[in-house]
Structure 1
Amino acid sequence: MPSSKREREYERRRYEKWQQRQATKRAHRRRLQVVAGGVVAVLVLGTGVAAALLVTGGDDAPAQADPAPTAAASTPAARTGNGGEVPDASLAEDRTWTGTITTDQGDVGIELDGRAAPQAVASFVTLAQEGYFDGTGCHRLTTSGIYVLQCGDPTGTGTGGPGYAFGPVENAPDDDVYPAGTIAMARQSGDGESQGSQFFLVYEDSTIPSDQAGGYTVFGRITSGLDVVQAVADAGVTGGASDGAPATPVTIEGVETQ
Protein backbone atom coordinates (compact mmCIF):
# COMPACT_ATOMS: atom_id res chain seq x y z
CA MET A 1 0.00 0.00 0.00
CA PRO A 2 1.22 3.59 -0.55
CA SER A 3 3.36 4.57 2.42
CA SER A 4 2.46 8.25 2.71
CA LYS A 5 -0.45 10.62 2.32
CA ARG A 6 1.21 12.13 -0.75
CA GLU A 7 1.57 8.74 -2.39
CA ARG A 8 -2.02 7.82 -1.60
CA GLU A 9 -3.20 11.09 -3.11
CA TYR A 10 -1.10 10.42 -6.20
CA GLU A 11 -2.62 6.94 -6.56
CA ARG A 12 -6.13 8.38 -6.16
CA ARG A 13 -5.57 11.06 -8.83
CA ARG A 14 -4.05 8.53 -11.20
CA TYR A 15 -7.02 6.20 -10.80
CA GLU A 16 -9.52 9.04 -11.31
CA LYS A 17 -7.74 10.10 -14.51
CA TRP A 18 -7.78 6.51 -15.70
CA GLN A 19 -11.53 6.29 -15.01
CA GLN A 20 -12.09 9.52 -16.96
CA ARG A 21 -10.16 8.17 -19.96
CA GLN A 22 -12.21 4.98 -19.92
CA ALA A 23 -15.47 6.93 -19.68
CA THR A 24 -14.44 9.09 -22.63
CA LYS A 25 -13.62 6.03 -24.70
CA ARG A 26 -16.95 4.42 -23.88
CA ALA A 27 -18.90 7.60 -24.71
CA HIS A 28 -17.07 7.91 -28.02
CA ARG A 29 -17.79 4.30 -28.87
CA ARG A 30 -21.48 4.73 -28.08
CA ARG A 31 -21.69 7.79 -30.35
CA LEU A 32 -20.16 5.82 -33.19
CA GLN A 33 -22.64 3.01 -32.63
CA VAL A 34 -25.59 5.41 -32.79
CA VAL A 35 -24.33 7.01 -36.02
CA ALA A 36 -23.80 3.65 -37.64
CA GLY A 37 -27.06 2.32 -36.29
CA GLY A 38 -25.24 -0.88 -35.43
CA VAL A 39 -25.27 -3.16 -32.50
CA VAL A 40 -21.98 -4.46 -31.19
CA ALA A 41 -22.08 -8.09 -30.21
CA VAL A 42 -19.55 -8.63 -27.48
CA LEU A 43 -18.02 -12.05 -27.42
CA VAL A 44 -16.40 -13.41 -24.36
CA LEU A 45 -13.68 -15.96 -23.81
CA GLY A 46 -14.32 -18.30 -20.90
CA THR A 47 -11.82 -19.16 -18.25
CA GLY A 48 -10.48 -22.32 -16.57
CA VAL A 49 -9.00 -24.35 -13.24
CA ALA A 50 -6.13 -27.03 -13.44
CA ALA A 51 -6.95 -29.02 -16.63
CA ALA A 52 -10.56 -28.06 -16.55
CA LEU A 53 -11.68 -26.72 -13.26
CA LEU A 54 -11.70 -23.16 -14.28
CA VAL A 55 -13.39 -23.94 -17.50
CA THR A 56 -15.93 -21.86 -19.25
CA GLY A 57 -18.44 -23.85 -21.16
CA GLY A 58 -19.31 -24.23 -24.78
CA ASP A 59 -18.84 -27.04 -27.24
CA ASP A 60 -15.06 -26.79 -26.99
CA ALA A 61 -14.93 -26.84 -23.22
CA PRO A 62 -13.20 -29.73 -21.50
CA ALA A 63 -15.52 -32.14 -19.76
CA GLN A 64 -16.10 -31.22 -16.14
CA ALA A 65 -14.49 -34.47 -15.08
CA ASP A 66 -11.20 -33.21 -16.47
CA PRO A 67 -9.28 -32.12 -13.35
CA ALA A 68 -7.72 -28.86 -14.49
CA PRO A 69 -8.46 -25.12 -14.81
CA THR A 70 -9.19 -24.41 -18.45
CA ALA A 71 -11.55 -22.12 -20.27
CA ALA A 72 -14.10 -22.81 -22.93
CA ALA A 73 -15.16 -21.47 -26.28
CA SER A 74 -16.26 -17.86 -26.70
CA THR A 75 -19.87 -17.14 -25.85
CA PRO A 76 -21.95 -13.95 -25.64
CA ALA A 77 -21.36 -12.03 -22.43
CA ALA A 78 -24.27 -11.76 -20.05
CA ARG A 79 -22.60 -8.84 -18.33
CA THR A 80 -19.86 -6.59 -19.72
CA GLY A 81 -17.09 -5.20 -17.53
CA ASN A 82 -15.14 -1.99 -18.13
CA GLY A 83 -16.94 -1.38 -21.38
CA GLY A 84 -15.51 -4.59 -22.81
CA GLU A 85 -11.94 -3.25 -22.65
CA VAL A 86 -9.03 -4.75 -20.72
CA PRO A 87 -8.22 -2.51 -17.73
CA ASP A 88 -4.81 -0.86 -17.75
CA ALA A 89 -2.31 -2.90 -15.73
CA SER A 90 -0.78 0.33 -14.38
CA LEU A 91 -3.83 0.67 -12.13
CA ALA A 92 -2.52 -2.12 -9.92
CA GLU A 93 1.25 -2.02 -10.41
CA ASP A 94 3.57 -1.78 -7.41
CA ARG A 95 0.97 -2.01 -4.68
CA THR A 96 -0.94 -4.48 -2.56
CA TRP A 97 -4.72 -4.40 -2.34
CA THR A 98 -6.85 -5.75 0.49
CA GLY A 99 -10.54 -6.49 0.47
CA THR A 100 -13.46 -8.77 1.21
CA ILE A 101 -15.53 -11.14 -0.90
CA THR A 102 -18.92 -11.12 0.81
CA THR A 103 -20.96 -14.26 0.14
CA ASP A 104 -24.21 -15.64 1.47
CA GLN A 105 -22.11 -18.34 3.19
CA GLY A 106 -19.75 -15.92 4.93
CA ASP A 107 -17.02 -13.38 4.28
CA VAL A 108 -13.65 -14.16 2.69
CA GLY A 109 -10.83 -11.69 3.34
CA ILE A 110 -8.38 -11.26 0.46
CA GLU A 111 -5.04 -9.70 -0.37
CA LEU A 112 -4.14 -8.98 -4.00
CA ASP A 113 -0.56 -8.70 -5.24
CA GLY A 114 -0.37 -5.98 -7.87
CA ARG A 115 3.41 -6.27 -8.03
CA ALA A 116 3.41 -9.92 -9.05
CA ALA A 117 0.28 -9.92 -11.23
CA PRO A 118 -0.60 -6.33 -12.18
CA GLN A 119 -2.86 -7.16 -15.13
CA ALA A 120 -4.93 -9.73 -13.27
CA VAL A 121 -5.26 -7.50 -10.20
CA ALA A 122 -6.19 -4.46 -12.32
CA SER A 123 -8.93 -6.50 -13.98
CA PHE A 124 -10.26 -7.97 -10.73
CA VAL A 125 -10.24 -4.63 -8.89
CA THR A 126 -11.93 -2.81 -11.77
CA LEU A 127 -14.67 -5.42 -12.05
CA ALA A 128 -15.15 -5.44 -8.29
CA GLN A 129 -15.49 -1.66 -8.14
CA GLU A 130 -18.07 -1.78 -10.93
CA GLY A 131 -20.13 -4.34 -9.02
CA TYR A 132 -19.56 -6.91 -11.74
CA PHE A 133 -19.37 -9.82 -9.29
CA ASP A 134 -22.42 -8.77 -7.27
CA GLY A 135 -25.12 -11.43 -7.30
CA THR A 136 -22.99 -13.99 -9.15
CA GLY A 137 -22.66 -17.61 -8.08
CA CYS A 138 -19.64 -19.83 -7.61
CA HIS A 139 -20.55 -22.40 -10.21
CA ARG A 140 -17.93 -25.12 -9.86
CA LEU A 141 -16.38 -27.14 -7.05
CA THR A 142 -13.69 -29.81 -7.39
CA THR A 143 -13.08 -32.18 -4.50
CA SER A 144 -10.67 -34.72 -5.98
CA GLY A 145 -7.22 -34.27 -7.54
CA ILE A 146 -7.36 -30.51 -7.10
CA TYR A 147 -9.33 -28.64 -4.47
CA VAL A 148 -10.84 -25.42 -5.70
CA LEU A 149 -14.04 -23.39 -5.83
CA GLN A 150 -14.52 -21.50 -9.10
CA CYS A 151 -16.36 -18.17 -9.23
CA GLY A 152 -16.67 -15.01 -11.32
CA ASP A 153 -19.04 -16.13 -14.08
CA PRO A 154 -22.17 -13.92 -14.25
CA THR A 155 -24.03 -16.63 -16.18
CA GLY A 156 -23.33 -19.33 -13.60
CA THR A 157 -22.64 -21.77 -16.42
CA GLY A 158 -18.88 -21.58 -16.85
CA THR A 159 -19.28 -19.76 -20.18
CA GLY A 160 -19.52 -16.14 -19.09
CA GLY A 161 -16.98 -13.35 -18.96
CA PRO A 162 -16.53 -9.57 -19.01
CA GLY A 163 -16.42 -9.03 -22.78
CA TYR A 164 -12.62 -9.02 -22.89
CA ALA A 165 -9.75 -11.46 -22.42
CA PHE A 166 -6.16 -10.86 -21.40
CA GLY A 167 -2.79 -12.57 -21.01
CA PRO A 168 -0.18 -13.87 -20.77
CA VAL A 169 -0.10 -15.85 -17.52
CA GLU A 170 1.49 -13.96 -14.61
CA ASN A 171 3.14 -15.27 -11.46
CA ALA A 172 2.49 -18.99 -11.97
CA PRO A 173 4.28 -21.23 -9.43
CA ASP A 174 7.40 -22.92 -10.78
CA ASP A 175 6.56 -26.18 -9.00
CA ASP A 176 2.87 -26.27 -10.10
CA VAL A 177 1.80 -26.24 -6.43
CA TYR A 178 -1.05 -23.91 -5.44
CA PRO A 179 -1.20 -23.76 -1.63
CA ALA A 180 -4.45 -23.55 0.29
CA GLY A 181 -5.63 -19.94 0.28
CA THR A 182 -4.37 -19.20 -3.23
CA ILE A 183 -6.50 -17.00 -5.50
CA ALA A 184 -5.79 -17.56 -9.20
CA MET A 185 -7.27 -16.85 -12.63
CA ALA A 186 -9.15 -19.42 -14.65
CA ARG A 187 -8.42 -19.62 -18.36
CA GLN A 188 -8.91 -21.73 -21.43
CA SER A 189 -6.76 -24.84 -21.67
CA GLY A 190 -3.54 -24.11 -23.52
CA ASP A 191 -4.39 -20.43 -23.98
CA GLY A 192 -2.76 -17.96 -21.63
CA GLU A 193 -4.53 -15.07 -23.38
CA SER A 194 -8.02 -16.25 -22.37
CA GLN A 195 -8.19 -14.89 -18.82
CA GLY A 196 -11.26 -12.82 -18.02
CA SER A 197 -13.42 -12.63 -14.90
CA GLN A 198 -13.45 -16.21 -13.65
CA PHE A 199 -11.15 -17.07 -10.77
CA PHE A 200 -10.66 -19.94 -8.35
CA LEU A 201 -10.13 -20.21 -4.61
CA VAL A 202 -7.86 -23.06 -3.47
CA TYR A 203 -9.07 -24.56 -0.18
CA GLU A 204 -6.47 -27.38 0.07
CA ASP A 205 -2.94 -27.60 -1.35
CA SER A 206 -3.30 -28.55 -5.01
CA THR A 207 -0.85 -29.55 -7.72
CA ILE A 208 -2.08 -28.28 -11.08
CA PRO A 209 0.18 -29.34 -13.98
CA SER A 210 1.20 -26.61 -16.39
CA ASP A 211 0.33 -26.84 -20.06
CA GLN A 212 1.84 -24.95 -23.00
CA ALA A 213 0.45 -21.68 -21.64
CA GLY A 214 2.43 -22.15 -18.44
CA GLY A 215 0.31 -22.58 -15.32
CA TYR A 216 -2.27 -20.21 -13.86
CA THR A 217 -1.97 -16.61 -12.74
CA VAL A 218 -1.73 -16.36 -8.96
CA PHE A 219 -2.89 -12.85 -8.11
CA GLY A 220 -3.77 -13.04 -4.45
CA ARG A 221 -4.39 -15.01 -1.29
CA ILE A 222 -7.16 -15.58 1.24
CA THR A 223 -6.37 -13.84 4.53
CA SER A 224 -9.50 -14.90 6.43
CA GLY A 225 -12.55 -17.01 5.81
CA LEU A 226 -10.82 -20.04 4.31
CA ASP A 227 -13.12 -22.03 6.59
CA VAL A 228 -16.07 -20.63 4.64
CA VAL A 229 -14.73 -22.13 1.42
CA GLN A 230 -13.81 -25.35 3.22
CA ALA A 231 -17.34 -25.71 4.56
CA VAL A 232 -18.73 -25.45 1.04
CA ALA A 233 -16.24 -28.09 -0.08
CA ASP A 234 -17.14 -30.36 2.83
CA ALA A 235 -20.77 -30.34 1.69
CA GLY A 236 -19.61 -31.76 -1.63
CA VAL A 237 -20.78 -31.53 -5.22
CA THR A 238 -24.38 -31.80 -6.34
CA GLY A 239 -25.26 -35.41 -7.08
CA GLY A 240 -22.26 -36.76 -5.22
CA ALA A 241 -19.76 -36.20 -8.04
CA SER A 242 -16.25 -34.87 -7.45
CA ASP A 243 -16.49 -32.01 -9.96
CA GLY A 244 -19.51 -29.83 -10.65
CA ALA A 245 -21.91 -27.41 -9.02
CA PRO A 246 -21.44 -27.18 -5.23
CA ALA A 247 -24.19 -28.85 -3.21
CA THR A 248 -24.23 -25.72 -1.05
CA PRO A 249 -24.95 -22.84 -3.45
CA VAL A 250 -22.63 -19.86 -3.00
CA THR A 251 -23.60 -16.38 -4.15
CA ILE A 252 -21.19 -13.45 -4.10
CA GLU A 253 -23.08 -10.50 -2.65
CA GLY A 254 -20.27 -8.01 -3.23
CA VAL A 255 -16.52 -7.52 -3.46
CA GLU A 256 -14.76 -4.60 -1.79
CA THR A 257 -11.14 -3.67 -2.45
CA GLN A 258 -8.89 -0.88 -1.25
Structure 2
Amino acid sequence: MPTNEQRRQAAKRKLERQLTRRAERARRRRIIGVAVTVVAVIAAVGLVYWLTTLGDGDQTAAANPTETTPPEGAAETPTSIPTAMAPAPTRATALPASVTCEYPAGQEPAAKQATAPPTANVSAQGTVPATITIGGSELKATLDKALAPCTVNSFVSLAKQGYFDQTPCHRLTVTGLQVLQCGDPSGQGNGGPGYTFKDEVFPELKYGRGMLAMANSGPDTNGSQFFIVYGTAELQPNYTVFGTLDEESIKKVDEIAKAGTIASQPGSGDGKPKDAVTVDKVTVTG
Protein backbone atom coordinates (compact mmCIF):
# COMPACT_ATOMS: atom_id res chain seq x y z
CA MET A 1 0.00 0.00 0.00
CA PRO A 2 1.23 3.50 -0.86
CA THR A 3 2.43 5.48 2.05
CA ASN A 4 1.05 8.85 2.99
CA GLU A 5 4.10 10.54 1.43
CA GLN A 6 3.54 8.74 -1.83
CA ARG A 7 -0.10 9.81 -1.87
CA ARG A 8 0.86 13.44 -1.26
CA GLN A 9 3.38 13.35 -4.12
CA ALA A 10 0.84 11.82 -6.50
CA ALA A 11 -1.76 14.45 -5.59
CA LYS A 12 0.80 17.18 -6.11
CA ARG A 13 1.70 15.90 -9.60
CA LYS A 14 -1.98 15.62 -10.51
CA LEU A 15 -2.59 19.23 -9.43
CA GLU A 16 0.40 20.40 -11.46
CA ARG A 17 -0.92 18.59 -14.55
CA GLN A 18 -4.33 20.20 -14.06
CA LEU A 19 -2.79 23.67 -13.70
CA THR A 20 -0.68 23.10 -16.82
CA ARG A 21 -3.72 22.04 -18.86
CA ARG A 22 -5.70 25.05 -17.61
CA ALA A 23 -2.88 27.43 -18.57
CA GLU A 24 -2.61 25.86 -21.99
CA ARG A 25 -6.33 26.19 -22.55
CA ALA A 26 -6.21 29.83 -21.43
CA ARG A 27 -3.29 30.51 -23.78
CA ARG A 28 -5.17 28.97 -26.72
CA ARG A 29 -8.25 31.05 -25.87
CA ARG A 30 -6.15 34.22 -25.89
CA ILE A 31 -4.64 33.36 -29.25
CA ILE A 32 -8.06 32.64 -30.71
CA GLY A 33 -9.42 35.84 -29.19
CA VAL A 34 -6.65 37.92 -30.70
CA ALA A 35 -7.13 36.30 -34.08
CA VAL A 36 -10.87 36.91 -34.00
CA THR A 37 -10.28 40.55 -33.02
CA VAL A 38 -7.81 41.05 -35.85
CA VAL A 39 -10.21 39.53 -38.34
CA ALA A 40 -13.03 41.71 -37.03
CA VAL A 41 -10.90 44.84 -37.29
CA ILE A 42 -9.85 44.00 -40.84
CA ALA A 43 -13.45 43.33 -41.78
CA ALA A 44 -14.57 46.61 -40.21
CA VAL A 45 -11.86 48.58 -41.98
CA GLY A 46 -12.78 46.98 -45.25
CA LEU A 47 -16.45 47.80 -44.72
CA VAL A 48 -15.67 51.42 -43.85
CA TYR A 49 -13.40 51.74 -46.89
CA TRP A 50 -16.07 50.30 -49.14
CA LEU A 51 -18.76 52.57 -47.78
CA THR A 52 -16.48 55.61 -47.94
CA THR A 53 -15.45 54.88 -51.50
CA LEU A 54 -19.03 54.43 -52.54
CA GLY A 55 -20.01 57.68 -50.82
CA ASP A 56 -17.31 59.64 -52.62
CA GLY A 57 -18.49 58.32 -55.91
CA ASP A 58 -22.05 59.39 -55.20
CA GLN A 59 -20.96 62.81 -54.02
CA THR A 60 -18.84 63.38 -57.10
CA ALA A 61 -21.69 62.43 -59.37
CA ALA A 62 -24.11 64.67 -57.49
CA ALA A 63 -21.73 67.63 -57.42
CA ASN A 64 -21.16 67.68 -61.17
CA PRO A 65 -24.42 66.68 -62.85
CA THR A 66 -24.40 69.65 -65.24
CA GLU A 67 -22.49 72.93 -65.37
CA THR A 68 -24.88 75.59 -64.10
CA THR A 69 -24.65 79.30 -63.25
CA PRO A 70 -26.06 80.55 -59.93
CA PRO A 71 -29.23 82.62 -60.41
CA GLU A 72 -28.60 86.34 -60.70
CA GLY A 73 -29.84 88.48 -57.84
CA ALA A 74 -32.98 90.53 -58.28
CA ALA A 75 -32.41 94.02 -59.61
CA GLU A 76 -33.01 96.98 -57.31
CA THR A 77 -35.02 99.75 -58.94
CA PRO A 78 -35.87 103.33 -57.97
CA THR A 79 -39.11 103.68 -56.01
CA SER A 80 -39.62 107.07 -57.66
CA ILE A 81 -37.79 109.50 -59.93
CA PRO A 82 -38.35 113.27 -59.79
CA THR A 83 -39.59 114.72 -63.05
CA ALA A 84 -38.69 118.38 -62.50
CA MET A 85 -35.42 119.46 -64.08
CA ALA A 86 -32.95 121.22 -61.79
CA PRO A 87 -31.90 124.74 -62.75
CA ALA A 88 -28.47 124.89 -64.35
CA PRO A 89 -25.91 126.11 -61.80
CA THR A 90 -24.08 129.41 -62.29
CA ARG A 91 -21.12 130.99 -60.58
CA ALA A 92 -21.75 133.93 -58.29
CA THR A 93 -18.52 135.46 -59.57
CA ALA A 94 -17.56 134.97 -63.20
CA LEU A 95 -14.18 133.57 -64.15
CA PRO A 96 -11.74 135.47 -66.39
CA ALA A 97 -12.26 135.15 -70.14
CA SER A 98 -9.52 132.51 -70.29
CA VAL A 99 -7.69 130.42 -67.74
CA THR A 100 -4.63 128.21 -67.48
CA CYS A 101 -5.27 124.55 -66.71
CA GLU A 102 -3.01 121.82 -65.40
CA TYR A 103 -3.21 118.13 -66.28
CA PRO A 104 -0.43 116.34 -64.39
CA ALA A 105 0.14 112.62 -64.76
CA GLY A 106 -1.96 110.56 -62.38
CA GLN A 107 -0.72 107.89 -59.99
CA GLU A 108 -2.40 105.12 -61.98
CA PRO A 109 -1.60 104.22 -65.60
CA ALA A 110 -4.16 105.12 -68.23
CA ALA A 111 -7.02 102.66 -68.62
CA LYS A 112 -6.98 103.65 -72.31
CA GLN A 113 -4.34 105.64 -74.14
CA ALA A 114 -5.06 109.37 -74.18
CA THR A 115 -3.22 112.64 -74.64
CA ALA A 116 -3.68 115.45 -72.14
CA PRO A 117 -5.30 118.58 -73.61
CA PRO A 118 -3.67 122.01 -74.08
CA THR A 119 -3.25 123.98 -70.88
CA ALA A 120 -2.80 127.64 -71.90
CA ASN A 121 -5.47 130.19 -72.82
CA VAL A 122 -8.38 127.86 -72.19
CA SER A 123 -11.64 129.70 -72.84
CA ALA A 124 -13.96 130.23 -69.89
CA GLN A 125 -16.78 131.63 -71.99
CA GLY A 126 -19.58 130.08 -73.99
CA THR A 127 -20.89 126.54 -74.33
CA VAL A 128 -20.13 123.42 -76.38
CA PRO A 129 -22.93 121.19 -77.75
CA ALA A 130 -22.25 117.47 -77.20
CA THR A 131 -24.05 114.24 -77.99
CA ILE A 132 -23.49 111.25 -75.74
CA THR A 133 -24.82 108.16 -77.49
CA ILE A 134 -25.65 105.45 -74.97
CA GLY A 135 -27.12 102.15 -76.11
CA GLY A 136 -28.20 103.71 -79.39
CA SER A 137 -29.99 106.61 -77.67
CA GLU A 138 -28.65 110.10 -78.25
CA LEU A 139 -28.38 112.27 -75.16
CA LYS A 140 -28.07 115.95 -75.99
CA ALA A 141 -25.79 117.85 -73.63
CA THR A 142 -24.58 121.42 -73.27
CA LEU A 143 -21.08 121.79 -71.83
CA ASP A 144 -20.59 125.07 -69.94
CA LYS A 145 -17.12 126.63 -70.20
CA ALA A 146 -18.05 129.46 -67.83
CA LEU A 147 -18.87 126.90 -65.16
CA ALA A 148 -15.86 124.58 -65.50
CA PRO A 149 -13.45 125.54 -68.31
CA CYS A 150 -10.69 123.03 -67.52
CA THR A 151 -13.21 120.20 -67.20
CA VAL A 152 -14.89 121.05 -70.50
CA ASN A 153 -11.47 121.37 -72.11
CA SER A 154 -10.56 117.84 -70.99
CA PHE A 155 -13.94 116.30 -71.88
CA VAL A 156 -13.91 117.79 -75.36
CA SER A 157 -10.34 116.60 -75.92
CA LEU A 158 -11.11 113.03 -74.80
CA ALA A 159 -14.26 112.95 -76.93
CA LYS A 160 -12.32 114.03 -80.02
CA GLN A 161 -9.75 111.29 -79.31
CA GLY A 162 -12.52 108.68 -79.21
CA TYR A 163 -11.67 107.92 -75.60
CA PHE A 164 -15.28 107.31 -74.55
CA ASP A 165 -16.23 105.22 -77.57
CA GLN A 166 -17.47 101.72 -76.69
CA THR A 167 -16.88 102.11 -72.96
CA PRO A 168 -19.22 100.82 -70.24
CA CYS A 169 -21.29 102.76 -67.77
CA HIS A 170 -20.17 100.80 -64.73
CA ARG A 171 -22.33 102.25 -61.96
CA LEU A 172 -26.02 102.96 -61.43
CA THR A 173 -27.48 104.18 -58.15
CA VAL A 174 -31.22 104.14 -57.55
CA THR A 175 -31.72 104.84 -53.84
CA GLY A 176 -31.06 108.26 -52.30
CA LEU A 177 -28.43 109.21 -54.84
CA GLN A 178 -29.72 108.67 -58.39
CA VAL A 179 -26.95 108.79 -60.98
CA LEU A 180 -25.54 106.87 -63.93
CA GLN A 181 -21.73 106.84 -63.94
CA CYS A 182 -19.61 106.26 -67.05
CA GLY A 183 -16.21 107.16 -68.53
CA ASP A 184 -13.98 104.35 -67.26
CA PRO A 185 -12.82 102.14 -70.15
CA SER A 186 -11.88 99.37 -67.70
CA GLY A 187 -15.43 99.23 -66.33
CA GLN A 188 -14.07 98.72 -62.82
CA GLY A 189 -14.60 102.21 -61.47
CA ASN A 190 -10.92 103.06 -60.99
CA GLY A 191 -9.75 103.77 -64.54
CA GLY A 192 -8.87 107.08 -66.12
CA PRO A 193 -6.90 108.78 -68.91
CA GLY A 194 -3.55 108.76 -67.09
CA TYR A 195 -3.78 112.39 -66.00
CA THR A 196 -5.77 114.35 -63.41
CA PHE A 197 -6.97 117.91 -62.94
CA LYS A 198 -8.32 120.12 -60.19
CA ASP A 199 -11.91 120.48 -59.05
CA GLU A 200 -13.89 123.46 -60.35
CA VAL A 201 -16.43 123.76 -57.57
CA PHE A 202 -17.85 126.52 -55.40
CA PRO A 203 -19.81 126.54 -52.10
CA GLU A 204 -23.19 127.39 -53.67
CA LEU A 205 -23.09 124.36 -55.99
CA LYS A 206 -26.19 122.17 -55.83
CA TYR A 207 -26.94 118.98 -57.76
CA GLY A 208 -30.16 117.87 -59.43
CA ARG A 209 -31.89 116.19 -62.32
CA GLY A 210 -30.24 116.79 -65.68
CA MET A 211 -26.74 117.71 -64.52
CA LEU A 212 -23.49 116.34 -65.90
CA ALA A 213 -20.71 116.16 -63.31
CA MET A 214 -17.28 114.69 -62.74
CA ALA A 215 -16.72 111.67 -60.51
CA ASN A 216 -13.58 111.62 -58.39
CA SER A 217 -11.78 109.69 -55.67
CA GLY A 218 -10.99 112.75 -53.57
CA PRO A 219 -10.08 116.41 -54.00
CA ASP A 220 -8.50 117.29 -57.36
CA THR A 221 -8.51 113.73 -58.75
CA ASN A 222 -10.70 114.30 -61.81
CA GLY A 223 -9.95 112.23 -64.89
CA SER A 224 -12.44 110.79 -67.37
CA GLN A 225 -15.25 109.42 -65.20
CA PHE A 226 -18.46 111.42 -65.19
CA PHE A 227 -21.99 110.94 -63.95
CA ILE A 228 -25.44 111.96 -65.12
CA VAL A 229 -27.86 113.00 -62.38
CA TYR A 230 -31.31 111.73 -63.36
CA GLY A 231 -32.98 112.15 -59.96
CA THR A 232 -32.10 113.13 -56.42
CA ALA A 233 -28.49 113.93 -55.50
CA GLU A 234 -27.96 115.53 -52.11
CA LEU A 235 -24.19 115.81 -52.37
CA GLN A 236 -21.63 118.11 -50.85
CA PRO A 237 -20.21 120.60 -53.42
CA ASN A 238 -17.21 118.36 -54.12
CA TYR A 239 -18.03 117.29 -57.68
CA THR A 240 -17.48 119.55 -60.68
CA VAL A 241 -20.63 120.22 -62.70
CA PHE A 242 -19.65 120.97 -66.30
CA GLY A 243 -22.88 120.71 -68.24
CA THR A 244 -26.53 119.70 -68.48
CA LEU A 245 -28.72 117.35 -70.49
CA ASP A 246 -32.05 118.37 -72.00
CA GLU A 247 -35.35 117.05 -70.69
CA GLU A 248 -35.97 114.50 -73.45
CA SER A 249 -32.47 113.07 -73.04
CA ILE A 250 -32.80 112.60 -69.30
CA LYS A 251 -35.99 110.60 -69.83
CA LYS A 252 -33.86 108.06 -71.72
CA VAL A 253 -31.64 107.76 -68.66
CA ASP A 254 -34.81 107.14 -66.60
CA GLU A 255 -35.43 104.01 -68.67
CA ILE A 256 -31.95 102.72 -67.89
CA ALA A 257 -32.57 103.39 -64.19
CA LYS A 258 -35.93 101.60 -64.23
CA ALA A 259 -34.24 98.42 -65.50
CA GLY A 260 -32.42 98.46 -62.15
CA THR A 261 -29.04 97.81 -60.66
CA ILE A 262 -27.47 94.68 -59.24
CA ALA A 263 -26.35 96.13 -55.92
CA SER A 264 -22.88 95.23 -54.67
CA GLN A 265 -24.46 95.10 -51.19
CA PRO A 266 -28.14 94.06 -51.12
CA GLY A 267 -30.38 96.97 -50.25
CA SER A 268 -27.80 99.65 -51.08
CA GLY A 269 -29.26 100.44 -54.51
CA ASP A 270 -25.72 100.92 -55.80
CA GLY A 271 -24.01 98.65 -58.31
CA LYS A 272 -23.67 97.80 -61.97
CA PRO A 273 -26.68 98.31 -64.24
CA LYS A 274 -28.67 95.09 -64.55
CA ASP A 275 -28.71 95.52 -68.32
CA ALA A 276 -25.28 96.37 -69.73
CA VAL A 277 -25.04 100.05 -70.64
CA THR A 278 -22.40 101.22 -73.11
CA VAL A 279 -21.33 104.65 -74.30
CA ASP A 280 -21.27 104.13 -78.06
CA LYS A 281 -19.72 107.50 -78.85
CA VAL A 282 -19.37 111.06 -77.64
CA THR A 283 -19.33 113.79 -80.28
CA VAL A 284 -18.75 117.50 -79.69
CA THR A 285 -19.09 120.63 -81.77
CA GLY A 286 -16.41 123.25 -81.30
Do they superpose with TM above 0.5?
yes
Aligned counterparts of 1:112 and 1:89: Cα–Cα separation in 2: 19
Partner secondary structure for residue 249 of structure 1: coil
- Number of residue pairs aligned between Structure 1 and Structure 2: 178
Aligned counterparts of 2:171 and 2:271: Cα–Cα separation in 1: 5
- Conserved? CA contact 2:172–2:257, under 8 Å: yes
Rg bigger for which structure? 2
Partner of 1:220: 243
Aligned counterparts of 1:126 and 1:118: Cα–Cα separation in 2: 12
Partner of 2:137: 106
Partner of 2:112: 79
Q: Which amino acid aligns with 2:257?
A: A
Q: Which amino acid aligns with 1:218?
A: V
Partner of 1:170: 200
Partner of 1:236: 260
> 1:144 Cα shift?
1.1
Aligned counterparts of 1:89 and 1:208: Cα–Cα separation in 2: 31
Partner secondary structure for residue 174 of structure 2: strand
Change (3 A) 1:227 1:105: farther
Kindly report the root-mean-square deviation, in angstroms, between the aligned alpha carbons of the 2 structures: 2.0
Aligned counterparts of 1:187 and 1:178: Cα–Cα separation in 2: 15
> 1:255 Cα shift?
0.6
Partner of 2:232: 205
Change (3 A) 1:253 1:206: same
Partner of 1:184: 213
> 1:103 Cα shift?
1.5
Aligned counterparts of 1:205 and 1:142: Cα–Cα separation in 2: 10
Give structure 1 regions of 4+ aligned residues with deviation exceeding 3 angstroms. Answer: 89-92
> 1:209 Cα shift?
2.4
Once the two structures are superposed, residues 173-232 of structure 1 have per-residue CA deviations (whole angstroms, 9 ceiling, x without a partner) of 62x53110000011113x2x100000000001311124xxxx210100002411111111
> 1:106 Cα shift?
1.1
Aligned counterparts of 1:107 and 1:159: Cα–Cα separation in 2: 26
Q: Which amino acid aligns with 1:246?
A: P
Aligned counterparts of 2:202 and 2:259: Cα–Cα separation in 1: 29
- Conserved? CA contact 2:108–2:194, under 8 Å: no
Partner of 1:257: 284
More strand by share: 1
> 1:238 Cα shift?
1.8
Once the two structures are superposed, residues 50-96 of structure 1 have per-residue CA deviations (whole angstroms, 9 ceiling, x without a partner) of xxxxxxxxxxxxxxxxxxxxxxxx433221221xx354264442120
Partner of 2:90: none
Identity of matched residues, % = 42
Aligned counterparts of 2:240 and 2:224: Cα–Cα separation in 1: 12
Aligned residue runs from structure 1 range 141-152, under 5 A: 141-152=172-183
Q: Structure 2-normalised TM-score?
A: 0.58
Change (3 A) 1:172 1:135: farther
Aligned counterparts of 1:161 and 1:89: Cα–Cα separation in 2: 22
- Conserved? CA contact 2:171–2:273, under 8 Å: yes
Partner secondary structure for residue 232 of structure 1: helix
More helix by share: 2
Q: Structure 1-normalised TM-score?
A: 0.64
